[in-house]
Amino acid sequence: MSPSTTTDFSSDQDFDLNGKSVLITGGTGSFGKRFVKTVLERYQPRRLIIFSRDELKQFEMALTFSPERYACLRYFIGDVRDSDRLDMALREVDVVVHAAALKQVPAAEYNPFECIQTNVIGAENVVRAALRNGAERVIALSTDKAANPVNLYGASKLASDKIFVAANNLSGTIGTSFSVVRYGNVMGSRGSVVPFFQKLIDEGAESLPITDENMTRFWITLQQGVDFVLSCFTLMRGGEIFVPKIPSMRITDLAKFMAPALPHREVGIRPGEKIHEVLITEEDSRNTFELADRYMIMPEFKSYLRPNPEELGASPVQPGFKFASNNNDDWLDETRLATMMQEAAE
């Protein structure tokens, strides 16, 4: 496996959103806010629709991204569980980013019906609405937990991935293309260990809790995630799962960097948690192709591989290849980690 030569996924070849109508589900989340900020800075979309169910978050987001200042902005109250509302929201929409999900592992385990309703039924509703409205391109956000899932959240996102990949079989003459983006921990996002550690440090903790001394994680910044999604709109033909080449780091090294003087206290892994993250399984290796900065897991249904990934300059990985946080060739050192943490704080 070739190590990542760059963590900059922005490109002049990004899909041109000028004049397009764009909708993002879960648009008031961490990813959604950075996505909206980036699109407003780089493009002049005809409409940019923030679709979410939380009116307070929409109100707070509109204080920064005001429709009075940005005439293209639309704030739609709605839930991906509501197929009719999605139909209304997607009228004349060209491009969709599906970021809405229930993401907390313990909450999903305790509320399984709700997790399935949002992450699985919601995914189906997005697909149906995109097809009914003739959307051009749809990208759904996934997670490392969807690869060989060990908890309900991961299983529900695997089901979602399968729904979006198979949706290309349904588009026919409508021509809608569906793809998936899968990556690991987002530096500094809600639920990340970085703000958790920082909170403990600020409160004067005498030690930092480590779930397992051997634990490793992939890392990506929010901006890198947004840039990666935008670049995938250009490459997608339908059915691909795009995985960025991103670095790994041991959780103990992260803790030492953030608080060199604090000892570590091993507390054990939580139910449904993995020691190491996996973004591409060995089973997926026979359908995985490699580009300079990413991998593409191609769909099992060979009939709609359009074009052949090798026409994009991609080459097949070796049989039995596995992209996991503990077998990565690219490891964060303190300098790169400091840069990523600074970017995450901006």
Please identify every residue annotated as catalytic: 145
Tokens read off for 304: 């709609």
DSSP state of 67: T
Those residues whose C-beta lies under 8 Å from the C-beta of residue 13, and which sit 6 or more positions away, are 231, 234
Strands (E), the chain: 21-25, 47-52, 73-77, 95-98, 137-141, 177-181, 185-186, 208-210, 216-220, 241-244, 248-250, 264-266, 278-280, 288-290, 294-297, 315-316, 323-324
- Structural contact between residues 279 and 184, judged by C-beta atoms closer than 8 angstroms: yes
DSSP state of 119: I
Tokens read off for 317: 């990985």
DSSP state of 271: T
Calculate Rg over the CA atoms of the chain.
20
DSSP state of 210: E
DSSP state of 187: T
Place of tokens 């190590």: 3
Tell the burial category of 319 from Cβ atoms under 10 Å away from its Cβ (0-12, 13-18, 19+): exposed
Tokens read off for 265: 């206290």
Closest by alpha carbon to 184, among 104, 93, 247? 247
- Structural contact between residues 323 and 1, judged by C-beta atoms closer than 8 angstroms: yes
- Structural contact between residues 242 and 230, judged by C-beta atoms closer than 8 angstroms: no
Distance CA 154, CA 131 (A): 26
